Amino acid sequence: MNQTLREAYRGFFDIGAAVNARTIRSAGELIAAQYNSITAENEMKPERVHPEEERYTFEEADAIVAFARANGLRMRGHTLVWHNQTPDWFFEDGRGGKAAKEAALARLRSHIRTVVKRFAGDVYCWDVVNEAVDDAGQDALRATKWLDVVGPSYIAKAFEFAHEADPKALLFYNDYNESHPAKRERIYALVKSLVEAGTPIHGVGLQAHWNLYDPPLDDIRRAIERYASLGLRLHITEMDVSMFAFDDRRTDLAEPTDDMLALQEERYESFFRVFLEYREAIDSVTFWGAADDYTWLHDFPVRGRTNWPLLFDARHRPKRSFERVAALAEAAKRGSGAGGASR
CB atoms within 10 A of CB 105: 20
- If the CB atoms of residues 297 and 338 are measured against ligand HAH, the closer one turns out to be 297
HEC profile of 46-77: HHHHCCECCECCCHHHHHHHHHHHHHCCEEEE
**130-169 footprint of ligand HAH as x/- string (CB under 6 A):** x---------------------------------------
For residues 199 and 207, which CB has a smaller minimum distance to ligand HAH in the complex?
Answer: 207
Q: How far is the CB of 334 from ligand HAH (least distance, A)?
A: 36
3-state secondary structure 96-120: CCECCHHHHHHHHHHHHHHHHHHHE
> Of 178, 182, 239, nearest to 203 (Cα)?
178
**Residue 168: CB atoms within 10 Å:** 9
Least spacing, CB of residue 221 vs ligand HAH, in Å: 22
Residues between 11 and 50 that touch ligand HAH (CB under 6 A): 41
* Closest CB to ligand HAH among residues 12, 271: 271
Distance of alpha carbon 92 from alpha carbon 342, whole angstroms: 52
> What is the contact mask toward ligand HAH in residues 248 to 287, using x (rule: CB under 6 A)?
----------------------------------------
| Catalytic center residues | 131, 238
- Residue nearest ligand HAH, Cβ-based: 176
Instruction: Name the residue type at position 26.
Output: S
What is the total count of residues that contact ligand HAH (CB under 6 A)?
A: 7
What is the smallest separation between the CB atom of 130 and ligand HAH, expressed in angstroms? 5
Per the document, the length of the chain is 343
Q: How far is the CB of 288 from ligand HAH (least distance, A)?
A: 6
For residues 60-89, which are near ligand HAH according to CB under 6 A? Answer: none
Report the residue from 296, 314, 330, 331 that binds ligand HAH according to the rule CB under 6 A: 296
Largest CA distance in the chain: 65
- Of the candidates 128, 96, 127, which has an alpha carbon nearest to the alpha carbon of residue 109? 128
Q: From residue 306, how far is each of 22, 95, 296 by CA, in Å?
A: 19, 44, 10
In the complex with ligand HAH, which residue's Cβ is closer, 4 or 79? 79
Q: Which is nearer to ligand HAH, 15 or 297 (CB)?
A: 297
Q: Does 90 bind ligand HAH (CB under 6 A)?
A: no
For residue 317, give the DSSP letter: P
Looking at the Cβ atoms of 238 and 265, the one nearer to ligand HAH is 238
Alpha helices in the chain (DSSP H): 5-8, 23-26, 28-34, 46-49, 59-71, 101-119, 145-150, 154-165, 181-196, 217-228, 258-277, 320-333
Sign for the CA dihedral angle at 74, 202, 113, 148 comes to negative
Q: Does 176 bind ligand HAH (CB under 6 A)?
A: yes
**What is the nearest approach in angstroms of ligand HAH to the Cβ of residue 10?**
27
Q: Which residues bind ligand HAH (CB under 6 A)?
A: 41, 130, 176, 207, 209, 238, 296
